[in-house]
Amino acid sequence: MGAKLLCFCLASALVAYYIYTPIPENIEEGWKVMLITSLFRTVGHVAEVADRLGLMHYMEVMRLITIAEHVAPTSDENVTVTDTEFSNVAVRLYLPRKPASGLRRAVIYFHGGGWCVGQAGMKSYDLLSRWTSSQLDAVVVSVNYRLAPKYHFPVQFEDVYSVTKFFLQSSVLSQYGVDPNRVCVAGDSAGGNLAAAVVQKLLEDSEVTTRIRAHVLLYPALQTLDLNLPSYQQNENGLILPKSLMVRFWSEYFTTDSSLREAMTSNRHVPAESGHLFQFVNWSNLLPEEMKKDYVYTSPVFGSSKLAKKYPGFLDPRAAPLLAEDARLHGLPPTYVLTCEYDVLRDDGVMYVSRLRAAGVRVTHDHAKDAFHGALMFVSSPTSLPVGNRLRNRYIAWLNENL
């Protein structure tokens, strides 16, 4: 009996140690956030083991979350939902069912998932798109771009750009009853990265005559140069998205070659000849004082030029929109940027806000001090969180006022 009790106590202690994650005091329902974080961590550990044993690629295991969360395109009393293709790229289309009183608004949405996982058909994204369509009486196009590791940059960008350009044609907008002056491009995380890159590119595309009315970036990933920003240091082992996973997403976006991931992990992947690009991500100039905290800026340590020559994508503004020169930012539409305090990507969004404002762009910066990466997606049982519903409502309210 004593031995069994001892084994039980030891097993319980090990489980508790594995599940436990320090949760900031200002995060609501911390116990639930802890369980969600432990679930993601467990899948990550299983993925690591499977990858090392050669059973499955790391991202293929992570994609099991996507598969488990998938829901079929199901219409309801408010919205007609269908899976179709625009320009040979899969999309999920949401059309309001009530009769239109005039031309409708439209939102083109790019899901997150580190360019490796996620899809428009995940329950969380389906609910967000359905809610957006219903609340705004808007057409929503949620794009299923191709994913790494099977497809690397620039395929993801090309897919979402192709869909956006197709949808912005006058004939297509007319077909769906969309006002050409009320179209928004939006995305979260890696999708926010793609949204920023698409809107920058549209300004230079003479073939596109429809101007984007609004632009939404939800906790976006925007730069590859400095992966040791204060937010990366503060949240290195943080909630949902630790630094190691974000670095892996970045490297997988460009290649399965582990040498790039290793260089990114040590923050020594940028060659000296590209050193001039650091001016665009110098957090000592671009972050407000309260977000610099007690961190000290240090000059970059350069790496070998071999990686940059082999995988030039990580220095391309289409993959890292923060690397765009100031002249490319002029003329961007009104922009909503959501950042979360407990997120490795926090400073990416904050620095972009600073640069957009300096370029004369009208920006609404919504910084959630009580939120973490991906929080807006937790709006349904059993993982519903109060902060998720608040952030969703703020996002929809901004769209309602600015689109």
Cα(261)–Cα(348) distance, integer angstroms: 19
Q: Which one is catalytic: 142, 189, 251, 274? A: 189
Cα first-last separation, the chain: 68
**Which of 126, 343, 347, 348 is the catalytic position?**
343
Q: Using an 8 Å Cβ cutoff, are 311 and 260 in contact? A: yes
Q: Cα(209)–Cα(245) distance, rounded to whole angstroms?
A: 39
d(CA 301, CA 323): 18
**365 a catalytic residue:** no
| CA dist 393 → 110, 274, 379, 397 (Å) | 18, 41, 11, 6
Q: Which of 37, 137, 129, 38 is nearest to 92 (CA)?
A: 129
Question: Any catalytic annotation for residue 251?
Answer: no
H/E segment holding residue 222: none
> CB neighbours of 344 closer than 8 A, spacing ≥ 6?
231, 232, 235, 236, 238, 241, 242, 243, 246, 373
215 close to 199: Cβ distance less than 8 angstroms: yes
Q: Are strands 335-342 and 214-218 parallel, antiparallel or unpaired?
A: parallel
Q: Degrees (nearest 5) of the Cα angle 245, 369, 252?
A: 15
Cα(394)–Cα(135) distance, integer angstroms:
12
What are the strands of the beta sheet with 363-372, ordered from one edge?
A: 79-86, 89-96, 138-144, 104-110, 178-188, 214-218, 335-342, 363-372
Is 343 one of the catalytic residues?
yes
Backbone conformation region of residue 211, classed left if phi is above 0, alpha if psi is from -120 to 50, else beta: beta
Dihedral pair phi/psi, residue 390, rounded to 5°: -65, -45
Q: For the chain, how are helix, strand and coil distributed in percent, rounded to 5? A: 50, 15, 35
Catalytic residues: 189, 343, 373
